[in-house]
């Protein structure tokens, strides 16, 4: 599976999950907090993640919630990859049908043009 799909936060400003959790738990210095706030201001995805995690009242449950979200995301992505893709119909039949439709459109245009301009 594509590892990038499972690391959404890393794609958004290179802010790790641990840095975000430390920010929410107040474990960072003022300088580090300011740096994280600047990164949050640049990326909507990070803002949404921070707001969602900040809504959890018991800060000890944040680790459990993020682990559960990551597991759910991984499972959903695996299911999506397992879906069967519909096969295209015979390509030569598709090309022939398209050609016939285009020829009929050109003929219809010519007939209408001739009828209007005798």
104 within domain boundaries? no
Which is more confidently placed, 83 or 71?
Answer: 71
Q: In the chain, how many domains are there?
A: 1
Q: What is the pLDDT, as a whole number, of residue 14?
A: 66
What lies within 8 Å, CB to CB, of 65 at 6+ separation is 53, 56
The per-residue pLDDT for range 37-78, each reduced to its tens digit, is: 888 788 787 777 778 777 877 767 777 777 887 788 788 877
Q: Residue 114 is encoded by which pair of tokens?
A: 């001739």
**In this structure, is the dihedral angle defined by the CA atoms of residues 101, 104, 110 and 113, taken in order, positive or negative?**
negative
Residue bearing the bigger pLDDT, 28 or 106: 106
| Displacement of CA 118 from its chain's centroid (Å) | 57
Q: Report the candidate in 81, 75, 17 with the shortest Cα–Cα distance to residue 49.
A: 17
Q: Looking at residue 16, what DSSP letter applies?
A: -
Name the token pair of 77: 């992505």
Pull the structure tokens for residue 27: 């474990």
- State which residues form the domain around 18: 3-85
- 50 domain-assigned: yes
């Amino acid at each position: 599976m594509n590892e990038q799909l499972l690391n959404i936060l890393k794609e958004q400003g290179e802010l790790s999950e641990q840095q975000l959790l430390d920010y929410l738990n107040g474990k960072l210095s003022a300088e580090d907090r300011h740096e994280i706030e600047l990164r949050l201001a640049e990326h909507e995805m990070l803002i949404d993640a921070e707001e969602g995690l900040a809504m959890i009242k018991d800060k000890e449950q944040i680790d459990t919630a993020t682990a559960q979200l990551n597991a759910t995301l991984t499972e959903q992505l695996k299911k999506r990859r397992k879906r069967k893709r519909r096969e295209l119909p015979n390509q030569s039949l598709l090309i022939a049908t398209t050609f016939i439709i285009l020829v009929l459109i050109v003929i219809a245009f010519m007939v209408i043009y001739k009828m209007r301009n005798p």
